[in-house]
Structure 1
Amino acid sequence: MNLRILKKLSKRAAVYLPLLGDHREQFRSERDDNYHGMHIRARKHFERCPSIHTDTYGNDEIVIAPRSRAGHRWPYIKVRPPVHPRRGTIMVGATTGYYEPEWDEECAWSALDKLVLCHFTDWSDWEHLRPTRNLNTPAAVFAAADVMLREHGVSLP
């Protein structure tokens, strides 16, 4: 999944969330201000920044040492998955906590995916949780969300 697909899925998922009981605030993300909370694996869309150091932070960061055609070494380039969504991606968020409340946010697609996965999971055996429905693709998640809406007696506007 890349950030463009995430933005489209979040726009489509935002309609389902209030109907399924997720009444957190919905808003559009700003550039480099919000965090989507997902792991983007498409390396084409990784963030790149030049560096003179080879140390990495975490398992997701990769260091590339490019060379010119003449064999000269350029500064290192650190490559890591993007943590910020594209500007305009639908996000959901709310303040959580009691003594020291903090803002918690995620993209609408991630919220819907978690909601549907929790609904279609067999919770009878805590050691061996298993999904009761195949939810491997976005189409399957939206089909399962439609089933949840029918169970609640609600339809899409």
Structure 2
Amino acid sequence: MRGPLTLPRLKELSERALPILEKHFPELLQDQTFLAEPSDNYHGLVIQCDCPPDDRAGFTKCDCQWHPLAGTPMIGGMSGYEELEWDEETAHEALAKNLEWINRAAFMTEAEWIEVLAMAGMTPDDHAKRMAWLDGEIASLDTPTPTAAGLADGGGR
């Protein structure tokens, strides 16, 4: 993801993410997919907006900080154990947060995979390092990847 995240950019990323989720990661879809309605749905992201501050402390109290634009693809469903609650997120949020824990779908092309990672702000090396850390192959995410380490000292080519 390049540049600051704005509501129009979030809508665009979600529109791109939903078909990818439906095709390659249907298990990540909750009970429903739907389009956001004005001031009725919520996202969990930090959004940059140009709304003027409303108070002396300089805080903006606009809906940009909580509500996606109307028509933004959303995923929602009931979650919880004892007390079920409605949980919703944009399609982009669902894809981006789950890429930290899942591998590439078996039938996904390399070009699709790179596009998906770019939407989430990751590179293939970032993702490979995270998967190695989850599998216990490296002790820390701060450990240099073999590619990065080889290039840093001039080797690996």
TM over 0.5: yes
Deviations along 1:57-100, whole A, 9 cap, x unmatched? Answer: xxxxxx24xxxxxxxxxxxxx41561111111111111011221
Distance 1:112 1:86 in 2: 18
* Higher RCO by CA contacts (8 Å cutoff, separation 6 or greater): 1
**Counterparts in 2 of 1:83-94, with a 5 A limit?**
83-94=66-77
* DSSP 3-state at the match of 1:111: helix
Kindly indicate whether residue 60 of structure 2 is the aligned counterpart of residue 79 of structure 1.
Answer: yes
Q: Which one has the bigger strand percentage? A: 1
2:140 to 128, 145, 150: 128
Equivalent residue, structure 1, for 2:150: none
> Can you give the 5+ residue segments of structure 1 that lack an aligned partner in the other structure?
55-62, 65-77, 134-157
- Could you tell me how far 1:124 is from its partner in structure 2? 2.7
Alignment partner, residue 144 of structure 1 = none
Q: 1:28 to 1:99 in 2, by over 3 A?
A: same
Query: Structure 2: 5+ residue runs without aligned partners?
Result: 103-126, 146-157
1:44-55 matched pairs, under 5 angstroms: 45=49, 47-48=51-52, 50-51=54-55, 54=56
Show the 5 A alignment for 1:15-94: 15-19=19-23, 20=25, 21-24=27-30, 25-40=32-47, 42=48, 45=49, 47-48=51-52, 50-51=54-55, 54=56, 63-64=57-58, 78-80=59-61, 82-94=65-77
Q: Is 1:3 the counterpart of 2:7 in the alignment?
A: yes
Provide the aligned C-alpha RMSD in A.
2.8
For 2:17, the aligned partner's letter is A
Q: Whose Rg is larger?
A: 1
CA distance in 2, matches of 1:113, 1:37: 12
Task: State the SS of the aligned residue for 2:76.
Answer: strand
Q: Within 5 Å, give how 1:110-121 maps onto structure 2.
A: 110-119=93-102, 120=127, 121=131
Closer, same or farther in 2 for the Cα pair 1:50/1:100, shift >3 Å? same
Alpha-carbon shift at residue 47 of structure 1 (Å):
4.8
Distance 2:143 2:93 in 1: 17
Q: Distance in 1 between matches of 2:54 and 2:85?
A: 33
- Give how far 1:7 is off: 0.2
Higher helix share: 2
- Structure 1-normalised TM-score? 0.57
